[in-house]
């Protein structure tokens, strides 16, 4: 990969990690599970992008790059569903 592509991948990984840390801070203040799930999702995205930049991809492995990204979006969907679910307490 050329240096500009690696720089952009690194910047995207860093940005996702910063967002994960912000959501983790909000979770520590409020203990709302929505913030925890979002922190996990963005940390997963950051790790995925970092691995994309550090490992060369062959044509055989390229489709497997999208599995962690699918997991990231699944965490976000799970967080939204959990937040909108009616409470069991009365």
Q: pTM value? A: 0.86
pLDDT tens digits along 21-69: 999 999 999 999 999 999 999 999 999 999 888 887 766 667 777 888 8
User: Residues 6 or more apart from 73 whose CB is under 8 A from it?
Assistant: 41
CA distance 90 to 76: 27
Amino acid 35: pLDDT: 96
pLDDT for the residue 52: 85
pLDDT for 56 equals: 79
pLDDT at 46: 96
């Amino acid at each position: 990969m050329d240096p500009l592509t690696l720089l952009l991948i690194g910047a995207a990984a860093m940005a996702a990690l910063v967002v994960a840390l912000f959501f983790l801070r909000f979770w520590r203040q409020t203990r709302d599970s929505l913030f925890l799930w979002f922190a996990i999702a963005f940390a997963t995205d950051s790790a995925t992008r970092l691995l994309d930049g550090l490992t060369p991809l062959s044509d055989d492995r390229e489709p497997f790059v999208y599995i962690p990204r699918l997991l990231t979006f699944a965490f976000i969907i799970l967080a939204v569903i959990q937040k909108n679910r009616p409470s069991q307490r009365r």
